[in-house]
Amino acid sequence: MNNQAKSISLIGMPGVGKSTIGVVLAKLCGLRFVDTDLDIQVHAGATLQEILERDGYRQLRALEQEVLLGIDLDRAIIATGGSVVYSAAAMRRLKTAGAVVYLEADLDTLQRRVAAAPPRGIACDGNQGFADICAERTPLYRQYADFTVDATAGSPEAVAQTILLKLAAPG
């Protein structure tokens, strides 16, 4: 990893593999791993799903921004919550800390992974379906990303290696 990339932030939809790939990437780079969803839960003393049910999606997004603006991002791989792109302030901070990588996957893969996992606390209006959320967020992920990586192109290790190759590439 080149010296200018002090940190790497992973953005993308729930189920894309930000946490899984982030842990692998942190080991490959010798950096800390930060999972902002876990930091939000510790900060709030509740799971993301509990925060959503108790306080609503706007409060979950506000907590996400508060946590991201307050934690140490230096020399870390940061797995963000899927809704981080709704906060311009949080995204500015991530971009200042280092590279922002959009992990992308097709809708079918994402829906299958999310359905197989316990309730995730997806910060959205209760009237939106998963496909609607994906359609709404994808342009934001692309807007903020320094580059995009297909998160379904091989194992988490292979995806992490692809990220490192793209970071090392000139220009």
Measured distance CA(100)–CA(49) in Å, rounded: 26
The reply to whether 122 falls in a domain is: yes
CB neighbours of 15 closer than 8 A, spacing ≥ 6? Answer: 105, 109, 110, 111, 112, 113, 114, 117, 120
pLDDT band at 162 (very low <50, low <70, confident <90, very high): very high
The reply to whether 2 falls in a domain is: no
Share of the chain above pLDDT 90, in %: 70
Look over the chain and give the mean of its residue pLDDT values, rounded to a whole number.
90
The reply to whether 30 falls in a domain is: yes
The reply to whether 35 falls in a domain is: yes
Split into its structural domains, the chain has a count of 1
| pLDDT higher than 60, residue 2 | no
Domain with 21 in it: what CATH number?
A: 3.40.50.300
The reply to whether 143 falls in a domain is: yes
pLDDT band at 27 (very low <50, low <70, confident <90, very high): very high
Q: What is the pTM of this model?
A: 0.92
pLDDT digits (tens, 9 = 90+) for 82-101: 889 999 999 999 999 999 99
The reply to whether 48 falls in a domain is: yes
CB neighbours of 71 closer than 8 A, spacing ≥ 6? Answer: 34, 36, 39
The reply to whether 1 falls in a domain is: no
Domain that holds residue 131: 7-168
Using alpha carbons, list the distances in angstroms from residue 57 to 6, 48, 125, 165, 169.
31, 10, 7, 36, 38
